[in-house]
Amino acid sequence: MPDAPLLVIAAGGTGGHMFPAQALAEEMLRRGWRVKLSTDPRGARYTGGFAHTVQVEVVNSGTFARGGLMAKLRVPFRILWGAISARRSMKRDRPAVVAGFGGYPAIPAMLAAGNLKIPRLIHEQNGVLGRVNKKFAPKVDIVACGTWPTKMPEGVKGIHVGNPVRRSVMEKHGAGYITPGNWPMNILAIGGSQGARILSQMMPQAVALLPEEIKAQLRVVQQAREEDTQSCEAAYAQAGVRCEISPFFRDIPRLMSEAQLIVSRAGASSVADISIIGRPSILVPLAIAMDDHQSANARGLAKAGGAIVIPEKELTAISLSKCIATVLQDADGAAKMAQAALSQSRPEAAGHLANLVEELAAKGHG
């Protein structure tokens, strides 16, 4: 479809940026658009879920947050070279719109689009703008927000669209919930790229403290770093609890839908997935998250009664075990939590964001 309008999506770094970008790509392809993804070599590792029709362009970028002095001195040159490369690509095949999802891999394409006067929007997943989105927010045409309210720079207005979720998650939207009881139960524990270690340590200890009648029925499916997998499995075996431990699960939406309880960090994509599927959760916001944005992400679910939030500094085996028991020993309460989580979902988020893209494209042609 060479005559179809082109959307360039600029994203990368983590699944938190790439999952909503993938959701928008799926929606725009459905509407007959062409889609390119502009990312850097690190972001390219997260592109497996994108449709094969999405062209992936890998450009240079860099961050000041990692590496020594020499690496930091090279960052501006890497970004400049990436922006020149992205600009050349856009001159050959001009996009109707460029959409940035944050993360330093998004910088080159966003700079190139600004230079070429191509309409731009950004989508911020978290309740606080990330570094890259904060820089671009005053300069772009639209700032779309996943979590509401989102803290904005002075003079910038955001539009609340919600966090788009991938089609594989939408297929489980509102999936029937089997309440906890005297039958097999699943807990899904997911930590995200930065937050799996503390849950690897705390979850087996917390589960070991649960009443025997819960442990007898329990199976824990847990994401853990490669180096923590064996110790995690050994701890669950000692507690007499069945488990499945892996650094990566391909089918998180199915695992979420089968869980009686989810224990998770409060990354924006995880919170969005939990609410779309509608499951009780215990959320442990990442303490080192910039501007404590994970606490902001968790607020909506907690306020609605869909989640219990444990600040990281208060996370102990005892506090976590008590919260797990609270959910698994109260079938009616768990069902209400699942319903409350579902009430916070925004299944229309990808459609709203796609509408904004099309509105921007129409103005650009006008």
Q: Where are the alpha helices (H) located in the chain, listed in sequence order?
A: 15-30, 69-92, 107-115, 131-136, 167-170, 192-208, 212-215, 229-239, 252-258, 268-277, 293-304, 317-328, 331-343, 349-365
pLDDT at 17: 85
> Does the pLDDT at position 291 exceed 80?
no
Residue 251 or 73, more confident: 251
Q: Is the pLDDT of residue 326 over 90?
A: yes
Distances in Å between the alpha carbon of 290 and those of 57, 99, 146, 265? 28, 22, 17, 14
**In the predicted model, what is the mean pLDDT of the chain?**
91
**Residue % of the chain over a pLDDT of 90:** 73
Give the pLDDT confidence score for residue 176 in this predicted structure.
Answer: 97
pLDDT surpassing 50 at residue 64 = no
Q: What is the pLDDT of residue 286?
A: 84
Residue that has been written with the tokens 């940026």 in this structure: 17
**All domains in the chain, ordered by first residue:** 6-163+347-365 (3.40.50.2000), 185-343 (3.40.50.2000)
Indicate the SS3 state at residue 136.
helix
**Is pLDDT above 80 for 44?**
no
Split at pLDDT 50, 70, 90, the class of 288 is confident
SS (H, E, C) 235-281: HHHHHCCEEEEECCCCCHHHHHHHCCEEEECCCHHHHHHHHHHCCCE
Least confident window among 144-153, 179-188, 189-198, 298-307: 189-198
- Model's pTM, two decimal places? 0.91
DSSP H or E stretch at residue 142: strand 142-145
Output the pLDDT for position 308.
98
Q: Please give the residue that has the higher pLDDT: either 118 or 65.
A: 118
pLDDT score, position 74: 63
Reported confidence tier of residue 72, pLDDT bands at 50, 70, 90? low
pLDDT, mean of residues 169-182: 97
Say if residue 192's pLDDT is above 80: no
Structure confidence at residue 67 (pLDDT): 58
